């Protein structure tokens, strides 16, 4: 079993040296891991892991903590629930890259561990492992000076050899719980004289594969006994994150992807139901609605990618300044759900209320400021924050009132909606929506996502 993995490392190193010599190029490291992932996967199958659980390439993802999927070289996923992951890396220039390698390995593991920090997810943490290859002097790149015999590991400032230094760091990884399984091997020599050694006995390839497989199979049994499914796993993730984070972890199986999508949709429906009740409650204020919406900008539509700073323009503080995918701004101005929407101008005609006119006038001032100061603000934010917004195409949206709170003696829901639509038809860069409009549109979008997810073929 182990021989095939070690042979893969050695064969790849010899092939790379042959190619570089033929092309007259300087020697480098192991630039492709495909040759090594396959024998590792086969070894894990020999250890008892189902071959269908193993994912490689762009499917090898775990949920990350900061809105980005965490990429690995190999992952093990059973029925949509991640069980383990392995990353592979080499070190060909110890003097310059030691700190970089340690940082890369630390950040990769921390991102996943942080995602599983909640009490209900802690017991589901996947087994993390990495396979490390150290290129010893005499085997490293020709442009790295070597002043010591081949096979002797270098050091920094007269400190311990790099094998020992890496060993100390890797053991710290294990004791801190960042990684569960670690393999470390070293390549010495060139061409047919090259060999693969295992300088750290507690990080031998045999032990690494056996321990990783044991941990994965144990976690699989625990998850099965606890009745954890792709749907319940997706639901647990969605309680502390959003759809992008959830999907990053379980897109490896069609069932897991669909279950996660539906779990997020369910939770979003709960939020919308709460917003509807809040909008109809007599004592609900503008501030209460703002707090309830929070950072859930998906409510306003899928074209928005972020929320900008509220004090984006010095003269104003906006409620929710949304950023579109094309960098344009849409300033959301929230008013109270109790605000009157219409009044009768005469016996047969409704017009929007003064509260609506005042809110629109407020947004006009926002847009005028964007027009006047946009070029200067773009320069300031670009230089100071590396942020770039397109102020020239800024727009605004007023969210105000709820038709159900308009007395029937004044107007019906249909009449209120019609009056708002007529008013919007005469506006250019500003739109007025009621809280009913906002919530209804968000619910229709969720229904569309749910129907599309159930109908679309996957796999």
Instruction: Give residue for tokens 């539509």.
Output: 301
CB atoms under 10 Å from CB of 15, counted, come to 13
CB atoms under 10 Å from CB of 204, counted, come to 16
pLDDT value at residue 193: 73
DSSP code per residue over 140-156 = S-TTS---S-TTPPP-S
- The CA-based angle 196-184-121, given to 5 degrees, is 150
- The distance between the two most distant Cα atoms of the chain, rounded to a whole number of Å, is 101
* Separation between Cα atoms, residue 234 and residue 260, nearest integer Å: 4
25 DSSP 8-state letter: P
* Separation between Cα atoms, residue 250 and residue 352, nearest integer Å: 48
The 3-state secondary structure of 404-421, one letter per residue? HHCCCCCCCHHHHHHHHH
pLDDT value at residue 34: 60
pLDDT value at residue 454: 55
CB 77 within 8 A of CB 49: no
pTM of the model: 0.50
Question: Taking the CA of residue 360 as centre, how many other CA atoms within 13 Å lie in the half-sphere pointing to its CB?
Answer: 18
DSSP code per residue over 387-452 = ---EEEEEEEEEE---GGGS-TTT--HHHHHHHHHHHHHT-SSEEEE-HHHHHHHHHHHHHHHHHH
Six-digit token pair at 438?
A: 């906002």
DSSP code per residue over 294-341 = TT-GGGG-TTEEEE--TTSSTT---SEEEEETTSEEEEEEE--TTS--
* Separation between Cα atoms, residue 355 and residue 121, nearest integer Å: 47
DSSP code per residue over 153-184 = PP-STT---HHHHHHHHHHHHHHTTS-SEEEE
Six-digit token pair at 210?
A: 């056996």
pLDDT value at residue 191: 65
CB 55 within 8 A of CB 74: yes
Paired residues of 398 in beta bridges: 333, 432
DSSP code per residue over 99-116 = HHHHHHHHHHHHHHHHHT
CB 114 within 8 A of CB 121: no
CB 34 within 8 A of CB 3: no
79 DSSP 8-state letter: T
Residue among 63, 53, 196 nearest 132 (CA): 196
pLDDT value at residue 131: 93
pLDDT value at residue 20: 46
Six-digit token pair at 76?
A: 């093990």
Q: Using DSSP bridges, classify how beta strands 81-91 and 127-135 pair: parallel, antiparallel or unpaired.
A: parallel
What lies within 8 Å, CB to CB, of 74 at 6+ separation is: 37, 40, 41, 54, 55, 56, 60, 85, 86
Q: Residue 316 burial (CB < 10 Å; 0-12/13-18/19+)? A: middle
Residue among 222, 206, 186, 204 nearest 84 (CA): 222
CB atoms under 10 Å from CB of 206, counted, come to 15
CB 132 within 8 A of CB 231: no
Residue among 105, 135, 155 nearest 199 (CA): 135
CB atoms under 10 Å from CB of 88, counted, come to 19
pLDDT value at residue 74: 92
pLDDT value at residue 146: 36
pLDDT value at residue 247: 44
Six-digit token pair at 371?
A: 């027009």
Six-digit token pair at 370?
A: 């964007």
pLDDT value at residue 261: 62
CB 88 within 8 A of CB 33: yes
* Separation between Cα atoms, residue 246 and residue 259, nearest integer Å: 10
What lies within 8 Å, CB to CB, of 156 at 6+ separation is: 94, 95, 98, 165
User: Domain boundaries in the chain?
Assistant: 2-252, 282-455
Tens-digit pLDDT profile for the chain (459 aa)? 455 787 777 776 766 665 545 544 444 444 445 678 888 999 999 999 999 999 887 778 887 655 555 788 899 998 888 899 999 887 765 555 677 778 888 888 888 888 787 777 878 889 999 999 887 755 443 333 333 334 444 443 334 466 677 888 899 999 888 999 999 888 877 666 778 888 888 899 989 999 999 999 999 998 888 788 777 776 676 665 544 444 444 444 555 555 556 666 777 888 898 899 999 998 899 999 998 898 888 899 888 888 888 878 877 889 999 999 888 999 999 999 999 999 987 777 899 999 999 999 999 999 999 999 888 888 888 887 778 888 889 999 999 999 999 988 889 999 999 999 999 999 999 999 999 999 999 999 888 877 765 554 444
């Amino acid at each position: 079993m182990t021989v095939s993995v070690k042979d893969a490392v050695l064969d790849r190193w010899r092939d790379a040296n042959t190619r570089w010599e033929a092309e007259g190029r300087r020697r480098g490291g192991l630039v492709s891991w495909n040759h090594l992932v396959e024998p590792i996967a086969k070894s894990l199958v020999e250890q008892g892991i189902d071959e269908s659980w193993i994912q490689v390439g762009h499917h090898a993802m775990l949920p990350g903590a900061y809105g980005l999927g965490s990429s690995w070289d190999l992952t093990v996923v059973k029925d949509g629930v991640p069980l383990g992951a392995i990353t592979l890396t080499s070190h060909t220039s110890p003097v310059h890259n030691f700190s970089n390698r340690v940082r890369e390995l630390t950040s990769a593991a921390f991102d996943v561990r942080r995602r599983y920090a909640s009490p209900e997810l802690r017991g589901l943490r996947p087994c993390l492992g990495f396979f490390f290859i150290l290129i010893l002097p005499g085997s490293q790149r020709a442009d790295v000076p070597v002043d010591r015999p081949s096979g002797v590991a270098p050091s920094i400032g007269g400190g311990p050899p790099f094998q020992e230094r890496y060993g100390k760091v890797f053991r710290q990884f294990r004791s801190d719980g960042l990684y569960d399984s670690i393999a470390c091997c070293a390549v010495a020599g060139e061409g047919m004289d090259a060999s693969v050694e295992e300088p750290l006995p507690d990080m031998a390839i045999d032990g690494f594969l056996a321990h990783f497989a044991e941990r994965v199979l144990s976690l699989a049994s625990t998850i099965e006994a606890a009745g954890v499914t792709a749907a319940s796993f997706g639901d647990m993730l969605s309680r502390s994150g959003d759809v992008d984070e959830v999907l990053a972890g379980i897109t490896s199986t069609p069932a897991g992807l669909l279950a996660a999508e539906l779990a997020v949709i369910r939770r979003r429906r709960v939020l919308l139901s709460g917003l509807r009740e809040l909008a109809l409650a007599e004592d609900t204020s503008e501030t209460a609605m703002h707090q309830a919406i929070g950072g859930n900008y998906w409510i306003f539509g899928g074209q928005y990618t972020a929320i900008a700073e509220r004090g984006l323009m010095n003269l104003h503080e906006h409620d929710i300044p949304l950023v579109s995918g094309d960098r344009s701004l849409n300033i959301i101005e929230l008013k109270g759900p109790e605000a009157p929407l219409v009044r009768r101008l005469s016996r047969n005609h409704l017009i929007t209320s003064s509260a609506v006119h005042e809110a629109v006038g407020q947004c006009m001032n926002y847009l005028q400021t964007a027009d006047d100061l946009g070029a200067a603000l773009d320069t300031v934010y670009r230089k100071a924050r590396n942020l770039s917004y397109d102020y020239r195409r800024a727009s605004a949206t007023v969210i105000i009132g709820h038709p159900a709170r308009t007395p029937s003696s004044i107007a019906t829901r249909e009449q209120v909606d019609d009056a708002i639509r007529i008013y919007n038809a005469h506006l250019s860069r500003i739109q007025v929506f009621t809280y009913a409009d906002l919530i209804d549109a968000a619910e229709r979008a969720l229904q569309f996502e749910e129907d599309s997810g159930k109908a679309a073929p996957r796999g």
